[in-house]
Structure 1
């Protein structure tokens, strides 16, 4: 027996069956830069039973037999259920699949009150119980193995321990992209690029081989060659854009059609599609597959101003460059002419963008993985609430708390159908333009309230604080314990403390160093989890769901923002807008604002803190269609000439470019020049150009995403009508696809006249004038008395006098 030891960074984890027992595999990279897989056969699956423990019950449980398997052993343990110590039975079984089988066998017994922790995946359970953190380092010792696995080292471990080591090893990253045409839904090209400079485009048919382009006999040979390149380049990470929902599905379907094996993994297995709700994730054993689109859709999308989350738009925003300019028709024409250089350039650019985006995304995924304690593969595909939940699951184990069960479908539906509770307080803004505006907001308002007032399911309505006015929720009949720290407030407090420590470290590190970037990404990961904690209480699929906790946090939020507004009014300053956690107050200058801030913060309890964001020279707050001011719809001009916009079409994703550009000009002219007359003139010039046919098609395209299957739409809206036309023409359209269309001239409804952007030969100017440009402009101009009639017909003059608030 050859002994071996290694230090490695954990990149992934799964398990396989050996002699009818589960064996965990830890995939990683050593400190010497070698690929490694570690086997651990010592972990046994289990779940918990809450029951009145008797010798008879234990005996009957031990005698249950399913498929020739019996329970391995039963232990009596004590755990906490929502903070309350409870005796439980810990039931060990041989295989991970046996957990649900034996749970089903006992769940209907009268002497069994509840079963717990039966739905946690075996490999996730292993990470939690062993205290191992992905993308952190471990030291392993054991027997060196000779296995048919494409890894430099294979160790059967008998000792695994965590070690302190910063950073992660140098990793090989490979990006890929495929191009298809409508004819037989054929894959015509596959591009590959990695972070060591390798680049290649594979295609097939009658064409000459040229630099970086390899021509294969057919589609089958091209797919086989792609798999061969991946195995030879041996990447640690495979990246792409929308590869879960498109590229890998298409490649596996085509491989099946051609009856060829499509092997990218390190253990010789084919791609496994793991079901996650309505979509699946492509798992490649031994290599970390990251679909950049998944992470952007779930986590980063809300922070981007990109119109749609396509590779082109996201790359333009994050990288400053986009895709090669080619339409579907251009690609098909190039293919028919066998213009492989053109196709290769287009396809390779997509891989290049995915590879460059991965440099931005991978560090963020890794840091989230380290905070949450689950693999980068899983974390990159989680929503905000799922990230919070897996952090709570790990911490529950560490606190000896039982992990609540995932709610059943009926319970989730009941939660979804519950009437909405009152959210944040909004004082509608005074319409028009204002000067000298100070913007304040509460630092992490809801997390701070959760900590300060100890809001957690197990602290609700405790006996010890009954009748204490400090414990009571404003305007509600319930209270939260002031004496015993709650499970979730404790974790949120730890997160805030951790982020503050990281931010303090950042102050003493040079900004252009890898260590600074690592600290930044780590504090950002902590920030994401902290700010997502409030929403988790109200998330219908939450294990720690508590509507009372969620509405109590909102009630405290309303209390504090009203309190600050009252303090401002007592000082004689004008509060022009308040919304949930933000306040816009007229202040003389920054010094005045900071003095007010100091007085407010001295009055706030616990970790509550108000922050001063900035002073703004002017700001527009616009009315809604009902005549009252609209919520979260404003534009601000700071003293450096920068404009901040919130709630207008300029930052929305469902309006044509011409509407957004016109509105942007209107806002800029009013804020910087104070001239609504000039703004109206700009709108009228745009209308004239539309009627003269002088607007580029690119500015007329409307982008709308399909959020469900086409058959689920009751009304045929324009984007649904266009999606159906695209499918009829042979396009592959599915849930999540972004539909690009133009409203053309002619007879019939708007939906009937909606055409795919690439096919639209003309446009309906009156549609764009009356349904896009004028409504977008009036979102701002209505604050100054303008109507649609004024813009389209009358020559009406207005001044800003009476609209300025000093």
Structure 2
């Protein structure tokens, strides 16, 4: 008997039965999770050719052949054409067939993963509703044989169970090695449930973790860098001990091919999200938690203390450290994942895959879905890149300014692309009724609407509708929160379109589109500055999609009225929405893209200055932050100067801890592959001699000590430091070293503040007490 079911689509994959791929959909309803199988879908791709591309390929002992071919009509950049739709027996046959056919014909869409192809063709979306009809089968858990399936658009998101975990190892020395060092602690948190699994019996620790996963039955498993570290480590230790990591909902084991996969559960590495979205240079777990306002303090040890405390019997310290890490992981997930729920729904594909993608790839999948609806065949990824001129930047008026307004050209580039119909399919080569881009001369048809324009209008229209509804809701209501996430996701994708057109891996790559968009952007910034000056404003700075203006001698209310009049004038002459971004009580500009301002509501905004960079020690960042705050809030350069002098005195007197001197830099390739050996690489090499190894992407912390040679020769790894008394470092290699105070003063502290202070007439000599200083009145 046919059964109809309605649920949320959580995840999708495929399995092979009788040499045939079977789509497997993981769905969730009020009774829990069930799996639905569709055995009818076939892998396929397109071939643009004058001849039917029947081929056979020898692959070892078996022959791979085209199953069948259909002749179909599809569009290529809006123009209809007869093409071949080529079917394969199994998704794993597609790469071989593509390789063979591409030698004599144009092969398209052969790189779309099988289950993504299914989602596109069936108009389904992960994290949205799904209606199925078919038959219930299976004994161990609910299973469903699909006869028909369709999307049901739902508001909000499914009720998802999230589980965070974090592993701690008993390292004999340095970084843990899975060949020798056992797992002693696995922290777990899901909702109100918390457990810190621990003990000297590693077999029991791992077995308990597997049991806990099955008991909690999470939909999403989150960790921090678990794809590169925790899960491979766990897998290797389990294999050594003969333990099955059968974490999948179907009883299958964790697999590590490509990205780690757990059947029926979404494995999300928060580090992937943080890398692309969080503006924290040193992306340690606690730093990210602090940035998001989620940091807690229940541990008083660091990672390198774990083995020592464990062996000394001070295990409570280690358990607190593990609990702190897993709580940070869980709270970060709560903060970051909702945006990706919406992105998953918008671009259709599973959450864990979305979190690993950059913005360009996310736009790519959105376009693939929209192209299918229009009967459009996607181009292959460009794999090329040609330089083009970017945004216009107006030279800033240096120094300190009061009562400054920043005007923002909202969604400038998407607005330009819509206004001038910029799209690969509207790019004109001959005479036409066209929009012609300034400076570069590229022309775009005024009609019909291009592929990009239609999609951008759809995205912007949806966002406007959502924001209109939001105005009717309570700011603190759950409905408002869901809609806010949705409008932010729409904004992210909309604003990514311009960059996508110039991205070298874009399917719809178009240098002319990117070049024309920036040309119109430059034209509008220059035009807006001209209009503002004609209305009596001083234009202090302009960059890409914003300008900073002021009018002296006005009260705040008078300033608001004048700004409103300016916005009206700009809106009349430019096809772009303009709004106030910030009112600044005080702001100073150092140079292009480098400034700091104190807003009307009491926030300090810093752009492009060293305080935000990670290749400076913590002390340099702190002292620069203090200087910025004093100048902006108190407008007292003399106090800022005294603060810097005080820091220098404390360095000389040994008053700071070692953490203030540590510099962090990333390892971007294997140590052996570095041609130019920089300080952090030499520090890593020094640590490796003591058994500490750094993987690609990890941060190396080091300090500069006194001695012979260049800076690299004197870079001592932070991981080897046993003690520091303000001057003397004792290392685990048995060495005794002195911190190089002169280096930190001359190459960290002074450079971090002088870029600011020199704009107020100060020199190194002033900071060192060798010259007179100026007063603030000199700089207005």
The answer to whether structure 1 residue 485 and structure 2 residue 449 are counterparts is: yes
CA gap 1:531/1:164 in 2 versus in 1, 3 angstroms: closer
Contact 2:22–2:39 under 8 Å retained in 1: yes
Deviations 1:317-353 (A, max 9, x none): 2143146332244211112123322212211221122
Give the C-alpha shift of residue 425 in structure 1: 0.7
Contact 1:33–1:170 (8 Å) recurs in 2: no
Q: Is the 8 A contact 2:57 2:96 kept in 1?
A: no
Equivalent of 1:705 in 660, 666, 671: 666
SS in 1 for 2:747: helix
Matched, 1:661 2:622: yes
Secondary structure of the structure 1 residue equivalent to 2:605: strand
For 2:171, the equivalent position in structure 1 comes to 182
Aligned-pair distance for 1:241?
Answer: 0.8
Give aligned pairs, total.
750
Deviation at residue 257 of structure 1 after TM alignment? 2.7
TM-aligned CA deviation for residue 721 of structure 1: 2.0
> Could you tell me which of 134, 140, 145 is aligned with 1:156?
145
Aligned residue in 1 for 2:46: 48
- Summarize the alignment of residues 378-457 of structure 1 with structure 2, pairs less than 5 Å apart: 378-407=353-382, 412=383, 414-415=384-385, 418=386, 420-457=387-424
Among 574, 585, 591, the alignment partner of 2:561 is: 591
SS at match of 2:74: strand
- Cα deviation for residue 489 of structure 1 reads 2.0
Between stretches 753-762 and 238-247, larger displacement belongs to: 753-762
Mark the CA change 1:63 to 1:568 in structure 2 (over 3 Å): closer, same or farther: closer
Among residues 238, 260, 274, which one is paired with 1:296 in the alignment? 274
Looking at structure 1, the residues matched to 462 and 672 of structure 2 have their Cα atoms a distance apart, in angstroms, of: 47
C-alpha contact 2:64 2:97 (8 A) present in aligned 1:
no
TM-score (normalizing by structure 1):
0.89
Q: Secondary structure at the match of 2:777?
A: coil
CA deviations 1:652-694 (Å, max 9, x no partner) are 2222221122112222222233332222111111111111111
CA distance in 2, matches of 1:501, 1:711: 55
Q: 2:542 aligns with which of 578, 584, 599?
A: 578
Which among 214, 218, 226 is matched to residue 243 of structure 1?
226
Q: Return the offset for 1:133.
A: 0.7
1:755 corresponds to 2:750:
no
The reply on whether 1:458 has 2:425 as its aligned counterpart is: yes
Classify the secondary structure of the residue corresponding to 2:182: strand
- Provide the secondary structure at the position in 2 that maps to 1:273: coil
1:99 aligns to 2:132 (yes or no): no
Question: Which segments of 5 or more consecutive residues in structure 2 lack a partner in the other structure?
Answer: 729-738
- Does the Cα contact within 8 Å between 1:36 and 1:154 map onto a contact in 2? yes
Distance 1:567 1:655, change over 3 A: same
Assess if the C-alpha contact under 8 Å between 1:656 and 1:702 holds in 2.
yes
Q: Aligned with 1:584: secondary structure?
A: strand
Correspondence for 1:5 = 4
Q: 1:321 aligns with which of 295, 301, 307?
A: 295
Shift in CA distance, 797/360, structure 1 to aligned 2, threshold 3 Å = closer
Identify if the C-alpha distance between structure 1 residues 166 and 579 changes in structure 2 by more than 3 Å, giving closer, same or farther: closer
Distance 1:98-1:764 versus aligned 2 partners, 3 A rule: same
Aligned partners of 2:684 and 2:693 also within 8 Å: no
Q: 1:471-620 residue pairs with structure 2 within 5 A?
A: 471-587=435-551, 588=554, 589-605=559-575, 608-620=576-588
Partner Cα distance (2:469, 2:709) in 1: 63
**Cα distance, 1:191 vs. partner?**
2.5
User: Match of 1:625?
Assistant: none
Map 1:630-709; keep pairs closer than 5 Å: 630-709=591-670
In structure 2, relative to structure 1, the CA distance for the partners of 1:159 and 1:619 (3 Å cut) is same
Aligned to 2:189: 194
Task: Select which of 687, 692, 695 maps to 1:734.
Answer: 695
Q: Deviations over 1:682-739 (max 9, x none)?
A: 1111111111111222222222222332233222222222222333333342111122
Q: Which moved more, 1:565-574 or 1:727-736?
A: 727-736
Q: Distance in 2 between matches of 1:5 and 1:578?
A: 59
| Distance in structure 1 (CA, Å) of the matches to 2:212 and 2:632 | 56
Are the structure 2 counterparts of residues 714 and 140 from structure 1 closer, same or farther at C-alpha, using a change threshold of 3 Å? same
Q: 1:434 to 1:78 in 2, by over 3 A?
A: same
8 Å contact kept, 1:82–1:457: yes
1:236 Cα deviation from its structure 2 partner: 1.5
Pairing of 1:137-156 with structure 2 (within 5 A): 137-146=129-138, 151=141, 153-156=142-145
Match of residue 154 from structure 2? 165
Q: Note if contact 2:157-2:341 (Cα within 8 Å) is conserved in structure 1.
A: no
Give the corresponding residue for 1:767.
Answer: 743
Q: Following the alignment from structure 2 to structure 1, what is the Cα–Cα distance between the partners of residues 707 and 169?
A: 33
Per-residue deviation, 1:800: 2.5
Partners of 2:58 and 2:601 in 1: how far apart? Answer: 75
Q: Are 2:679 and 2:713, in contact at CA under 8 Å, matched by a contact in 1?
A: yes
Unaligned runs of at least 5 residues, structure 1: 206-216, 276-280, 623-629
Alignment of structure 1 residues 24-423 onto 2, 5 Å: 24-30=23-29, 32-52=30-50, 57-58=51-52, 61=54, 67-68=62-63, 70-109=65-104, 112=105, 114-146=106-138, 151=141, 153-183=142-172, 185=177, 186-205=181-200, 217=201, 219-275=202-258, 281-298=259-276, 300-301=277-278, 304=279, 306-322=280-296, 324-407=299-382, 412=383, 414-415=384-385, 418=386, 420-423=387-390
Question: TM-score, normalization: structure 2?
Answer: 0.92
The answer to whether the Cα contact below 8 Å between 1:464 and 1:481 also exists between their aligned partners in 2 is no
Q: Over residues 459-490 of structure 1, what are the superposed CA-to-partner deviations in whole Å (9 max), with x where a residue is unaligned?
A: 11254626x5xx11101132111111111122
Compared CA separation, residues 728 and 224, structure 1 to 2 (3 A): farther
| CA distance 1:477–1:642, change in 2 (3 Å) | closer
Distance (Å, rounded) in 2 between the aligned partners of 1:259 and 1:497 = 56
Shift in alpha-carbon separation, 1:64–1:791, aligned structure 2, 3 A: closer
How far apart, CA to CA, are the structure 2 residues paired with 1:474 and 1:362?
41
Q: In the aligned structure 2, how far is the partner of 1:259 from the partner of 1:617?
A: 65
Measured against aligned partners, the alpha-carbon deviations of 1:258-290 in whole angstroms (never above 9, x if no partner) come to: 343222111232222343xxxxx2110111111
1:233 Cα deviation (Å)?
2.4
Match of 2:733 in 1: none
Deviation of the 1:137 alpha carbon = 0.8
- In the aligned structure 2, how far is the partner of 1:86 from the partner of 1:676? 70
Residues 726, 492 of structure 1: alpha-carbon distance in 2 compared, 3 angstrom cutoff:
farther
CA 1:432–1:378 in 2, change beyond 3 Å: closer, same or farther?
same
Instruction: Look up the SS of the partner of 1:282 in the other structure.
Output: coil
Tell me, yes or no, if the aligned pair for 2:122 and 2:149 is still in contact at 8 Å: no
Q: Give the aligned partner of residue 18 of structure 2.
A: 19
Q: 1:525 to 1:641 in 2, by over 3 A?
A: closer
For 1:555-578, what per-residue CA distance to the aligned partner results, in whole angstroms no more than 9, with x for missing partners? 111000000011122223221111
- Greater shift, 455-464 or 34-43, is seen at 455-464
Contact residue 55 and residue 97 of structure 2 kept, 8 A: no
1:4-26 Cα deviation digits (max 9, x unpaired): 43221111100011111111000
Match of 1:212 in 2: none
Q: Against the structure 1 CA distance between its residues 609 and 779, is the aligned structure 2 distance closer, same or farther, given a 3 Å change threshold?
A: same
Query: 1:71: how far off?
Result: 2.9
Distance in 1, matches of 2:403 and 2:64, equals 75
1:637 Cα deviation from its structure 2 partner: 2.3
What is the CA RMSD across the aligned residues, in angstroms? 2.1
Q: Please identify, of 424-433 and 692-701, the stretch whose mean Cα deviation from structure 2 is larger.
A: 692-701
Q: 1:363, 1:76 → 2: CA distance?
A: 43
- Please give the alpha-carbon distance, in whole angstroms, between the structure 2 residues aligned to 1:368 and 1:265: 25
